[in-house]
A and B are shown apart, each in its own frame.
Chain A
Amino acid sequence: MTELVASPGARKSHRAKGGPRLRPARVVPSIVVLAVLAVLILVPAALVALASVSSDVPRPGNVTGDLTWGNFGVLAETGTRQAMTNSLVISVVATILACAIGAGLAFLAARTDIHVPKFVYLVGLMPMFLPSYVGALAWSLLGSPNSGLLNILQRDLGLDLPLNTYSIPGMIFVFAIYYAPYTFLLMHGSMSMMGPDLEEAARVHGASTRRMLFRVSFPLAMPALIGAAILTFVLIFENFPVAQVLGSPGGIDTLPTLIFRLLNATPSRGTESAAISVVLVAVVILVTWLQKRFLAKRSFTTITGKGVRQKKVALGRARLPIFLLVIGFFLVSLVLPVLALVVVSGQTSPYMTSLSELFAPGGLEFGSYADVVASDTFRSVTGNSVIVSVVAAASGTAIAFISAYIVYRSKSVGRTVIEGVSMVPLAIPAVVLGMGLLWTWLVMPVPLYGTLAVLVVAFLAVQTSQGFRGIAASILATDRDLEDSAVMLGASRIRAITAVTVPLMKAGLLSTFVLLLMLSMRELTVPLYLYTSDTKILSIAIYDAFENGGALRQAAAMSVIYVVIMFVLSYLPRVRSGR
């Protein structure tokens, strides 16, 4: 009888006091990280949301104005509706084109007997390394209606095709080229890892190559394609630099350029900008949510990871023409734009009527590079870029490591919150987050605005998600037993992390660092809100130089140098992993 009473009683006493006790080690790091992420990300986001329903934008000493829904009236204006339509048309059509190009190249490189598949692979990937607004600047040199190099060439040849990159078709064209690599990468992965036995089974059961492709291979690659399409749509929809470079000369607004323009209008219409931003964020969240729902329903495990050699599809008579098409894409996406930058950087006469002038004596002269490299401006902006990017990438990697460690390795309270907040920047377009960051650091009682530090802080905020994802993949691939065993053998937790986990994650940490470095080097939108004349960085300087006209040669020369730096940076991790 005593037994019967004792047993449930004992259990109850455990439950009453039960549950792991909260040790300081479980709470303090979470709170610190959450506080940092909140200042970096949540405060700017909140200020934008607040401004959208306030009568005035946040100012030092006066964060909130009067509450009003009036700002959303801007949505009914013709200009806004036109921008919305433009954004949707451009994003949808460019996404379809980008996916077609990317998926086509991926299929050619991974699964067919095309000539030099390695070259085709590079063709698919390379446009990614050209920052899209540099591509847009180069294409504006090529295809602007009057002085575009291609239009001059047309005049030389007596042609009169309507070629104008300052138009909606022009913008679609440039977006499609520079966003095709995202689809390419995802599809190439999916297609080259596809288990060959799935296809062989189709052949064994009587399908022709064609039927096999359309009934088995392509359907299996569908989830990857849909995922790529939605990613591409969101990236184009929220893109500011390309739309700004190509749209503003022709007076074409998209939602991101409208947000920027209204904020910088005199008098500033920041609260209305914020209202449009809320809509922009809502669309991004909606689309991402749709993707999650859709992909959750159909996950095809096509990836075997065995790397078995698959049968190549024979292209037959189409082999050469298709290869020529690939070369055509290579010309359009990379060779022509870079060539245009090089030509303009050496072009001596600012007003050219025929390309033949280039070949006249003194027509091309590359002294501009020496001028640029020797100039104080170039040196200071390059120095600023390097400092900001390196510091942002290093501290971004550190923050990502600490966050991911807490999320995936600890039992700390609030780890799901940390993961969630780390993903927030994905849903906030740079043009919106930049605005929030501007207000945040104007309002904050810390004298950071106008320093390089504020750019570092801004880059940290924008790139939190990419950093977190990179480190998370690496930390999940590192068996936690490896660290636990060090603790069992007498090492403290910190010691175990530094002696075992960090050295083992060296490759992952390094590649995250390089990724963040590249993203920082090419980021234009956010610094555009925050830079001052003392804190110009390279991307801003190039954008400025083109925007203000004038020293076009120097601007082009600077772009060429910038492109070279970006290629070297993106090549670095390959050299390392190749060893």
Chain B
Amino acid sequence: MDVKIKNLSLTYGDFTAVKNLSLEIDNGESLVLLGKSGCGKTSTMRCVAGLEDPSGGSITIGDTAVVDADRSVNLSPNKRNVGLVFQSYAVWPHMTVLENVSFPLRMKKAPKSQIRAKALETLELVGLAHVAHKGASMLSGGQMQRVALARSLAMEPAVMLLDEPLSNLDARLREDLRVELRRLQVELGLTSIYVTHDQGEALALADRIAIMQDGRISQLATPEETYRRPASASIAEFLGVSNIFKVQPASPLDMRVRLAEHDLEVALDTADAMLTGDDSICIRPEHVRVASGPAPAGPNTWNGTVLVSVFQGAYARCTVQVDNGPAIDVHADVRDLAEFHQGDRVHVRLDPHHVRLLPQHAPVHDETVPVPVPQGV
């Protein structure tokens, strides 16, 4: 079912975790809340779950207003039919796997025979039918994660909330489960809100990504859009763009900008940014080309020296100190690796198309529904 969050605010004492946040999630959509710890993403999700009481705003699931601060509506969590997979799994160690998964069905007072059949069916779905009668404390981390998932799936939730569900797993398992989660979500048509700080997870699992900073959504876009066009330098930095350089104030029509801390001009191909006077250029390391020898003529082609080169398997990560300029991070094709060592003279080349000129912070992305204010306030 679709979820509508309107003007949601959550305060703990003096601290405001969520600031006037509005967001709509369509039926069957997977929305990822992405942000650093403390940005309010988990708080937002817990408001939807009913584990936190918002100080303002409303949340509607389907046609039901589950919380509305102005009308004093606040449905308790067990009446919302919202599934939540916890970061800690929260699988009950004093029960078997089957008992864990049967719990929501028992709470719905389903007939006994149905409970068992439905629980086993759900376990089948996550590939755990063979451990149904094991004690839940005997499972591995990955299995626990699946039990937690199955337990929430069994209740056929209106919305599924996932709170960094993969963050306690090994890298390898994490990637496998990521694919499986997406498969299940699409297959079952689950409306889901997924909270993570891992951009790779967000890109893989989202229909739309809402980037949260400081209790607000600062960018709401598809994964492709988010990756290609981060809305601000701080978002770009969070998304792993390692080359971010402050520029001197420029006017919107300039096609060239000058770095603030180095005597270097960088060419752009569009002046796409809303300039604020505190702007940076952002360059993904994989967009920088590196080659040996002196630089040929052309825009954004600079001589430099290799500071360090690290083999990473699929690519080599180099840092190149540009003459009279900054140190630039480069992901070089592995085939070039043999050619670069510390101290080598090289040149780097950067297509102006790949240079983004961005403000430090995005303007507040606010779907605020204007509230009529009496005149004269």
Q: Which residues of chain A have a CB within 8 Å of any CB of chain B? A: 2-3, 5-7, 9-15, 17-21, 23, 411, 479, 481-482, 484-493, 495-496, 499-500, 503-504
The reply to whether A484 and B370 contact each other, CB–CB distance below 8 Å, is no
Closest CB pairs A-B (n = 7)? A14-B56, A490-B107, A9-B373, A6-B370, A489-B104, A481-B90, A485-B90
Task: Beyond the given A7-B366, A7-B370, A489-B78, please list 13 additional residue pairs across the A-B interface where CB-CB is below 8 A.
Answer: A5-B373, A10-B371, A12-B377, A14-B20, A19-B11, A411-B53, A481-B87, A484-B90, A485-B84, A488-B78, A489-B104, A489-B107, A489-B151
The reply to whether A19 and B55 contact each other, CB–CB distance below 8 Å, is yes
Stretch at the interface among B69-77, B177-185, B268-276: B69-77
The reply to whether A491 and B69 contact each other, CB–CB distance below 8 Å, is no
Residues of A within 8 A of B372 (CB): 6
**Measured CA separation A6–B377 after assembly (Å):** 10
Residues of A within 8 A of B56 (CB): 14-15, 17-18
| Nearest CB on A from B172, distance (A) | 25
Report 14 cross-chain contacts, Cβ distance below 8 Å, ordered by A residue. Answer: A7-B368, A14-B9, A18-B69, A481-B87, A481-B90, A484-B51, A484-B84, A485-B86, A487-B77, A488-B83, A489-B103, A490-B155, A493-B78, A499-B103
Across the two chains, which residue of chain A brings its CB closest to B93? A504
Instruction: Judge if B7 is at the interface, Cβ distance under 8 Å.
Output: yes
The reply to whether A504 and B92 contact each other, CB–CB distance below 8 Å, is yes
| Nearest CB on B from A351, distance (A) | 62
The verdict on A10 contacting B78 (CB below 8 Å), with A3-B370, A481-B88, A504-B94 known, is no
**Measured CA separation A499–B92 after assembly (Å):** 10
**Measured CA separation A3–B368 after assembly (Å):** 9
The reply to whether B370 and A486 contact each other, CB–CB distance below 8 Å, is no
The reply to whether A9 and B86 contact each other, CB–CB distance below 8 Å, is no
Q: Which residues of chain B have a CB within 8 Å of any CB of chain A? A: 7, 9, 11, 20, 49, 51, 53, 55-57, 69-70, 72, 74, 76-78, 81-84, 86-88, 90, 92-94, 103-104, 107-108, 148, 151-152, 155, 366, 368, 370-373, 377
The verdict on A488 contacting B82 (CB below 8 Å), with A14-B7, A481-B90, A503-B94 known, is yes
The reply to whether A2 and B370 contact each other, CB–CB distance below 8 Å, is yes
| Nearest CB on B from A480, distance (A) | 9
Across the two chains, which residue of chain B brings its CB closest to A20? B53
**Measured CA separation A487–B86 after assembly (Å):** 12
Residues of B within 8 A of A23 (CB): 74
The reply to whether B90 and A479 contact each other, CB–CB distance below 8 Å, is yes
| Nearest CB on A from B95, distance (A) | 9
| Nearest CB on B from A406, distance (A) | 17
Residues of B within 8 A of A491 (CB): 78, 103, 107
The verdict on A6 contacting B93 (CB below 8 Å), with A481-B86, A489-B152 known, is no
Residues of B within 8 A of A3 (CB): 370
Residues of A within 8 A of B373 (CB): 5-6, 9-10
The verdict on A484 contacting B55 (CB below 8 Å), with A17-B70, A490-B104, A491-B78 known, is no
The verdict on A479 contacting B371 (CB below 8 Å), with A19-B55, A488-B78 known, is no
**Measured CA separation A482–B148 after assembly (Å):** 11
| Nearest CB on A from B321, distance (A) | 37
Residues of A within 8 A of B94 (CB): 503-504
Residues of B within 8 A of A2 (CB): 370
The reply to whether A488 and B152 contact each other, CB–CB distance below 8 Å, is yes
Residues of A within 8 A of B108 (CB): 490
| Nearest CB on A from B341, distance (A) | 35
The reply to whether B90 and A10 contact each other, CB–CB distance below 8 Å, is no
Residues of B within 8 A of A479 (CB): 88, 90
Residues of A within 8 A of B49 (CB): 488
Across the two chains, which residue of chain A brings its CB closest to B101? A489
The reply to whether B72 and A21 contact each other, CB–CB distance below 8 Å, is yes
**Measured CA separation A13–B370 after assembly (Å):** 12
Residues of A within 8 A of B9 (CB): 11, 14, 18
The verdict on A9 contacting B371 (CB below 8 Å), with A490-B78, A500-B92 known, is yes
**Measured CA separation A12–B377 after assembly (Å):** 11
**Measured CA separation A475–B55 after assembly (Å):** 28
**Measured CA separation A481–B90 after assembly (Å):** 6
| Nearest CB on A from B110, distance (A) | 11
| Nearest CB on A from B145, distance (A) | 13
The reply to whether A487 and B55 contact each other, CB–CB distance below 8 Å, is no
Residues of B within 8 A of A17 (CB): 56, 69-70
The reply to whether A10 and B155 contact each other, CB–CB distance below 8 Å, is no
The reply to whether A484 and B86 contact each other, CB–CB distance below 8 Å, is yes
Across the two chains, which residue of chain B brings its CB closest to A6? B370
Residues of B within 8 A of A20 (CB): 53, 55
Residues of B within 8 A of A11 (CB): 9, 20
Partner of B103, one of A5, A9, A486: A486
| Nearest CB on A from B114, distance (A) | 15
Across the two chains, which residue of chain A brings its CB closest to B7? A10
| Nearest CB on A from B244, distance (A) | 30
Across the two chains, which residue of chain B brings its CB closest to A486? B103
The verdict on A482 contacting B20 (CB below 8 Å), with A9-B371, A9-B373 known, is no
Residues of A within 8 A of B53 (CB): 20-21, 411
| Nearest CB on A from B83, distance (A) | 7
**Measured CA separation A460–B64 after assembly (Å):** 47
Residues of A within 8 A of B377 (CB): 9, 12
Which of A20, A489, A490, A492 counts the most B-chain CB atoms under 10 A from its CB?
A489
| Nearest CB on B from A327, distance (A) | 43
**Measured CA separation A500–B202 after assembly (Å):** 32
**Measured CA separation A540–B90 after assembly (Å):** 49
| Nearest CB on B from A176, distance (A) | 44
Residues of A within 8 A of B151 (CB): 485, 489
